């Protein structure tokens, strides 16, 4: 936020919205930490055989992710659960969870030009790299704002603190709704693997 404030050259009237977005993401992280206390089995979940789809933006990775997660044995991170991860989703209500409607409302309010570039829907698989956002390591920030200070800081990171959060997220999502294997996709992995 300091880099946005100092370098981005945006109207300060937008700062409260930016702060609210970051607070929302970090609030989700805190909720997941609390869920690990309420459901101690989350920390025991083993992440086995994850498949990582890597590719540049607009190269077909979203289509490949959708195809590979169509396998009933596969597990992907759906938009609705990344948006509101707490409490861990359950198999019994996975297709009817009330958080799906919240995500549908959010998607309905999105800029339509964005939806032509990247399909969003509550029940579609979405980029697992959004879990990195909970560590404040988000390559999307420098795509949205002119923030060279943040960019230089981020490129100097080895993501050793981000991947444990990624693992924690996958453990969280599979605790009460598992699959045989994970299908993970994000161009953020190109910077970090």
Q: Which two tokens mark 31?
A: 């909720």
Please say whether the beta carbons of 58 and 190 come within 8 A: no
Residue 153 confidence class, pLDDT cut points 50, 70, 90:
very high
Q: What is the pLDDT of residues 109-135, one digit of tens each?
A: 999 888 888 888 999 999 999 999 999
Whole-structure pTM value: 0.93
Cis peptide before 87 (omega within 30 of 0): yes
Q: Alpha-carbon distance 182 to 191, whole Å?
A: 20
The helix (H) or strand (E) run that includes residue 69 is helix 61-69
């Amino acid at each position: 936020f300091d880099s946005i404030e100092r370098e981005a050259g945006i109207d300060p009237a937008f700062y409260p919205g930016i702060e609210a977005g970051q607070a929302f993401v970090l609030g989700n992280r805190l909720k997941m930490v609390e869920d690990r206390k309420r459901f101690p089995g989350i920390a025991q979940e083993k992440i086995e055989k994850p498949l990582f789809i890597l590719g540049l933006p607009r190269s077909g990775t979203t289509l490949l992710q959708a195809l590979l997660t169509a396998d009933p044995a596969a597990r992907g991170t759906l938009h609705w659960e990344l948006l509101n991860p707490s409490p861990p989703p359950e198999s019994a209500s996975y297709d009817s969870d009330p958080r799906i409607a919240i995500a549908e409302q959010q998607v309905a309010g999105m800029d339509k030009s964005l939806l032509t570039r990247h399909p969003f829907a509550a029940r579609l698989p979405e980029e697992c790299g959004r879990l990195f956002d909970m560590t404040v390591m988000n390559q999307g920030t420098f795509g949205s704002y002119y923030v060279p200070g943040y960019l230089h800081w981020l490129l100097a990171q080895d993501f050793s603190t981000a991947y444990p959060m990624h693992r924690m997220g996958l453990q969280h999502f599979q605790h009460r709704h598992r699959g045989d294997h994970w299908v993970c996709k994000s161009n953020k992995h190109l910077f970090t693997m």
